[in-house]
Structure 1
Amino acid sequence: MTGRMALAALLACLAAPAAAQQPSYDCTRAGTPTEHAVCGDSALARLDVQMADLYRATARRTEGNARRGLRAEQLLWQQWRNTCGGDTACLARRYRERIADFDPSAAVQPTTPAPGVRRLRNGRWEVEMPDGSIRWTPLDGGSGGIIYPNGSQLTLQYVQVDVVPVEIPPPPTGGAPWVEAIETLLVRVVRDYLPPQDHPAYDALHAGYPPPERVVRHIDAIRILGR
């Protein structure tokens, strides 16, 4: 009788499903499509745990302004991640990019070079150059830098120079269609620079701003991406 009970217990253990991989946060408190998607996908949950461990390890090695900057950067990345919604492929790409920020050795290397690729990553614009280097600029258009193929980096400082002011004519009466037409043209240019998978995320970054301010932001994006 004891042997049969032991065998039954063993079979019950083997039949029980393995516990699903949990992310770094409590899934019972998940409130966004992104959080629910990560909770429902073991591969994404593992990436979330790996990213969170690397973030905490990096935070422990920093202090003061550097730690506050790291926290602000992480919050910005979370907003960028959330633009994926429940798209698991998009989320996997965002997580792998963030993991590579903390641990460059974990970066997935492309099988073929992709010069000219422009992307939004880690709160900045990046452009892959034909020589393998990466030119980057913050979203606000401030100073940027260059990451060379050997891993060395160069920070660029842009100098403001005085120029002759150009007076921009006011929009005609009933200016909303005029602004919309300008924005349509500008967005078309931006989309030519960015890969298709980043188009929805770019739109999400500008959602909620009034049309005139969106136009200015599109112009800034084109100026940065076109460098």
Structure 2
Amino acid sequence: MKKLFLSGVLLAVWAIAQGPAQAASFDCTLKTLAPDEKAICANRDLNDADVQMVTTLNLLSGLMMMGGRGALWDDQAAWLKQRQACGGDIACIRKAYASRLNALQGIYDGLNKPL
């Protein structure tokens, strides 16, 4: 399966630029973090998965027409509820990210690309 090259580049840049107190989609220094967010902040590979997921999501959002973009963000909101249901279970969160990244890759693969 073809990978999102730009997503990988952006992920690397983002990871280098961010300190340990920042995940891609939320601030790890907040006192009001949910259990899943605390687990992501405390676990480097989950934090990296969060960065990759948000970077890929934003890239795809920019490539899609308005209706598709809305559906993409609706799916993201539904996925976020699934991730939150994991609580602090790292294996569950890891599986949720793998599933979401696979779904986002499928969306990218299905886009009509001019080249």
1:20 corresponds to: 20
Superposed CA RMSD in Å reads 2.1
Structure 2 counterpart of 1:46, which letter? D
Using a 3 Å threshold, how does the CA distance of structure 1 residues 46 and 84 change in structure 2: closer, same or farther?
same
Contact 1:22 1:46 in 2 (8 A): no
1:82 corresponds to: 84
Q: Deviations over 1:134-170 (max 9, x none)?
A: xxxxxxxxxxxxxxxxx99xxxxxxxxxxxxxxxxxx
Q: CA deviation at 1:21?
A: 7.5
Structure 1 counterpart of 2:27, which letter? D
Matches within 5 A, 1:29-178: 29=30, 31-104=33-106
Larger radius of gyration: 1
Q: Which runs of 5+ in 1 are unaligned?
A: 1-18, 105-150, 153-227
More helix by share: 2
Contact 2:23 2:50 in 1 (8 A): yes
Contact 1:51 1:98 in 2 (8 A): yes
1:201 corresponds to: none
Identity across matched positions, percent: 30
- SS where residue 54 of structure 1 aligns? helix
After TM superposition, where is structure 1 displaced by more than 4 Å over at least 4 residues in a row?
A: none
Under a length normalisation based on structure 1, what TM-score does the superposition of the two structures give?
Answer: 0.36
Contact 2:21 2:28 in 1 (8 A): no
More strand by share: 1
How many pairs align? 88
More contact order relative to length (CA 8 Å, sep ≥ 6): 2
Under a length normalisation based on structure 2, what TM-score does the superposition of the two structures give?
Answer: 0.69
